[in-house]
Structure 1
Amino acid sequence: MALYRKYRPASFAEVVGQEHVTEPLSTALDSGQINHAYLFSGPRGCGKTSSARILARSLNCVEGPTSTPCGKCDSCIALAPGGSGTLDVTELDAATHNGVDDMRELRDRAFYAPADSRYRVFIIDEAHMISKEGFNALLKIVEEPPEHLIFIFATTEPEKMLATIRSRTHNYPFRLLTPPAMRGLLERVVAGEGKNIEDAVYPLVVRAGGGSPRDSLSLMDQLLAGSGPEGVTYQRALALLGVTDSALIDKAVDALANQDQASLFGVVDDVVDAGYEPRRFATDLLDRFRDLLILKAVPDAFERGLVDAPAGAQEVLIEEAQALGQATITRCAALVNEGLSQMRGATAPRLLLEILCARMALPAAGMTVEALAQRVEALEKGRGNAPAVTNSAEETAPVLSSGRRYERPSKAKREKPAQPAVEEDPVITEARRAREIMDRNRAQTEPESEPVPVAVPEPEPQPNSPRNAAEEWTQILALVKESNLSAWIAARDAVAADEQTEADELLVRHHTGALAKFVNSEANRKIYAEAAEKALGSPLTVIAVVGDRQKEPSQPGKAEAAPSGIIPQETGLDPAELKSNSNSALERARAMAEAYQKPASTQPQPSANTSTPASTDKPEPRWKARAQKYRSEHQHNVDNGFNGVPLPPEPPEEEWDSAPPEPADPSPRAPVPEKPELASKKEQDDEFLDQIAEGSGEADHRKPLDIAGELVEKHLGGQRLR
Structure 2
Amino acid sequence: MSYQVLARKWRPQTFEEVVGQKHVSQTLKNAIKQGKIAHAFLFAGERGVGKTSLARILAKALNCHSTPQPTDVPCNTCPSCVEITSGCSMDVLEIDGASNTGVDDVRILLENVRYKPARDRYKIYIIDEVHMLSKPAFNALLKTLEEPPPHTVFMFATTEPEKIPDTIISRCLRFDLKRIATQEIITQLERLLKAEQIHISKRGLFLIARAAEGSMRDALSLLDRILAYCRDEIKDADIEELLGRVDRSYLYKITEAIAAKNPVACLTLFNTIYESGFDLRQFYYAYLEHLRDLMVVKVTSGPVAWMDMPENDLAEVVRLAQTLSIEHLQRIFRLWFAAESDINQSPLPKIALEMCLLEMIHAQQSIPIEEALEKLEMLQQNIISTSAMTGQRWQPPLKTPAPERKLESKKNPAGSGCSAPAEADESFLQEQEEKVPQKSDAAGFLEFVRQQDVPLASKLEQGTIRFQGEGEFIIELPANSFFLETIRERETENKIKRLCEEFFKKAMTIKVVPVKKAHLHKESRPSDLDRKKKVHDALHNPLIQKLVETFDGKIVEIKTDI
Is the partner of 1:226 in helix, strand or coil? Answer: helix
Equivalence map 1:175-214=2 (5 Å): 175-214=178-217
Is the partner of 2:286 in helix, strand or coil? Answer: helix
Q: Does 1:517 align with 2:522?
A: no
From the two aligned structures, give the one with the greater helix fraction.
2
Q: Distance in 1 between matches of 2:282 and 2:115?
A: 55
Alpha carbons of structure 1 residues 238 and 548: separation in structure 2 relative to 1, 3 Å:
same
Alpha carbons of structure 1 residues 85 and 297: separation in structure 2 relative to 1, 3 Å:
farther
**Contact 1:199–1:310, Cα closer than 8 Å, also in 2:** yes
Is the partner of 2:322 in helix, strand or coil? Answer: helix
Alpha carbons of structure 1 residues 502 and 288: separation in structure 2 relative to 1, 3 Å:
closer
Give the TM-score taking structure 1 as reference length. 0.56
Q: Distance in 2 between matches of 1:124 and 1:437?
A: 87
Among 6, 11, 15, the alignment partner of 1:12 is 15
- 1:485 aligns with none
Equivalence map 1:601-640=2 (5 Å): none
Letter in 2 for 1:330: Q
Letter in 1 for 2:292: R
Bigger shift: residues 16-25 or 145-154: 16-25
Letter in 2 for 1:359: E
Alpha carbons of structure 1 residues 161 and 567: separation in structure 2 relative to 1, 3 Å:
closer
Alpha carbons of structure 1 residues 113 and 189: separation in structure 2 relative to 1, 3 Å:
same
- State the shift of 1:333 in Å: 3.0
Is the partner of 2:360 in helix, strand or coil? Answer: helix
Letter in 2 for 1:571: I
**Contact 2:450–2:456, Cα closer than 8 Å, also in 1:** no
Q: Distance in 2 between matches of 1:378 and 1:256?
A: 23
Count of residues paired in the alignment:
452
- Greater RCO (Cα-Cα under 8 Å, separation 6 or more): 2
- State the shift of 1:263 in Å: 2.0
Is the partner of 1:140 in helix, strand or coil? Answer: helix
- 2:289 aligns with 287
Is the partner of 1:152 in helix, strand or coil? Answer: strand
**Contact 1:128–1:158, Cα closer than 8 Å, also in 2:** yes
Q: Does 1:324 align with 2:324?
A: yes
Equivalence map 1:417-496=2 (5 Å): 443-444=433-434, 446=436, 495-496=443-444
Equivalence map 1:553-632=2 (5 Å): 571=487, 575-577=495-497
Q: Distance in 1 between matches of 2:393 and 2:324?
A: 42
**Contact 2:302–2:318, Cα closer than 8 Å, also in 1:** no
**Contact 1:499–1:507, Cα closer than 8 Å, also in 2:** no
Is the partner of 1:38 in helix, strand or coil? Answer: strand
Q: Does 1:312 align with 2:312?
A: yes
- 1:138 aligns with 141
Q: Distance in 1 between matches of 2:124 and 2:409?
A: 76
- State the shift of 1:443 in Å: 3.2
Q: Does 1:101 align with 2:135?
A: no
Is the partner of 2:13 in helix, strand or coil? Answer: coil
- 1:244 aligns with 246
Is the partner of 2:366 in helix, strand or coil? Answer: helix
**Contact 1:125–1:153, Cα closer than 8 Å, also in 2:** yes
Equivalence map 1:87-126=2 (5 Å): 87-126=90-129
Q: Distance in 1 between matches of 2:268 and 2:148?
A: 68
Is the partner of 2:42 in helix, strand or coil? Answer: strand
Among 366, 369, 372, the alignment partner of 1:375 is 366
Q: Distance in 2 between matches of 1:282 and 1:169?
A: 42
Q: Distance in 1 between matches of 2:240 and 2:321?
A: 24
Q: Does 1:149 align with 2:152?
A: yes
Q: Does 1:3 align with 2:3?
A: no
Among 234, 237, 244, the alignment partner of 1:235 is 237
- State the shift of 1:575 in Å: 5.0
Deviations 1:202-254 (A, max 9, x none): 2221221111111111111111222243x211111121111001121111111
- 1:464 aligns with none
Deviations 1:428-452 (A, max 9, x none): x9999xxx9998766335567xxxx
- 1:546 aligns with 465
- 2:73 aligns with 68
- 1:256 aligns with 258
- State the shift of 1:190 in Å: 1.9
**Contact 2:449–2:456, Cα closer than 8 Å, also in 1:** no
Alpha carbons of structure 1 residues 92 and 505: separation in structure 2 relative to 1, 3 Å:
same
Is the partner of 1:496 in helix, strand or coil? Answer: helix
**Contact 2:472–2:509, Cα closer than 8 Å, also in 1:** no
**Contact 2:442–2:465, Cα closer than 8 Å, also in 1:** no
Among 497, 522, 544, the alignment partner of 2:445 is 497
- 1:590 aligns with none
Deviations 1:27-72 (A, max 9, x none): 1111110000011001111110111101101111122422111223
Letter in 1 for 2:83: A
**Contact 1:36–1:151, Cα closer than 8 Å, also in 2:** yes
- 1:667 aligns with none
Alpha carbons of structure 1 residues 314 and 298: separation in structure 2 relative to 1, 3 Å:
same
Is the partner of 1:500 in helix, strand or coil? Answer: helix
Deviations 1:654-682 (A, max 9, x none): xxxxxxxxxxxxxxxxxxxxxxxxxxxxx
Alpha carbons of structure 1 residues 333 and 57: separation in structure 2 relative to 1, 3 Å:
farther
Alpha carbons of structure 1 residues 102 and 447: separation in structure 2 relative to 1, 3 Å:
closer
- 2:417 aligns with none
Q: Distance in 1 between matches of 2:43 and 2:192?
A: 25
Alpha carbons of structure 1 residues 499 and 420: separation in structure 2 relative to 1, 3 Å:
closer
**Contact 1:496–1:508, Cα closer than 8 Å, also in 2:** no
Is the partner of 2:100 in helix, strand or coil? Answer: coil
Is the partner of 2:319 in helix, strand or coil? Answer: helix
For the aligned residues, what is the CA RMSD?
A: 4.1
- 1:459 aligns with none
Is the partner of 1:318 in helix, strand or coil? Answer: helix
Q: Distance in 2 between matches of 1:337 and 1:120?
A: 53
Runs of 5+ consecutive residues of structure 2 not aligned to the other structure: 380-390, 400-407, 412-425, 474-481, 500-507, 511-562
Q: Distance in 1 between matches of 2:447 and 2:296?
A: 75
Deviations 1:110-138 (A, max 9, x none): 11100110000000000000001111111
Deviations 1:123-170 (A, max 9, x none): 000000000111111111111100000000101111111221111001
**Contact 2:131–2:158, Cα closer than 8 Å, also in 1:** yes
- 2:273 aligns with 271
Q: Distance in 1 between matches of 2:250 and 2:312?
A: 16
Alpha carbons of structure 1 residues 58 and 498: separation in structure 2 relative to 1, 3 Å:
closer
Deviations 1:571-609 (A, max 9, x none): 276853268xxxx999xxxxxxxxxxxxxxxxxxxxxxx
- 2:529 aligns with none
Aligned-residue sequence identity (percent) comes to 32
- 1:466 aligns with none
Q: Distance in 2 between matches of 1:517 and 1:120?
A: 92
Alpha carbons of structure 1 residues 223 and 502: separation in structure 2 relative to 1, 3 Å:
closer
Alpha carbons of structure 1 residues 54 and 73: separation in structure 2 relative to 1, 3 Å:
same
Q: Distance in 1 between matches of 2:397 and 2:31?
A: 73
Letter in 1 for 2:465: V
- State the shift of 1:191 in Å: 1.7
**Contact 1:205–1:219, Cα closer than 8 Å, also in 2:** yes
Q: Distance in 1 between matches of 2:124 and 2:340?
A: 46
**Contact 1:500–1:506, Cα closer than 8 Å, also in 2:** no
Alpha carbons of structure 1 residues 161 and 90: separation in structure 2 relative to 1, 3 Å:
same
- State the shift of 1:325 in Å: 2.8
Q: Distance in 1 between matches of 2:175 and 2:262?
A: 52
Q: Distance in 2 between matches of 1:548 and 1:279?
A: 70
Q: Distance in 2 between matches of 1:123 and 1:419?
A: 87
**Contact 1:335–1:360, Cα closer than 8 Å, also in 2:** yes
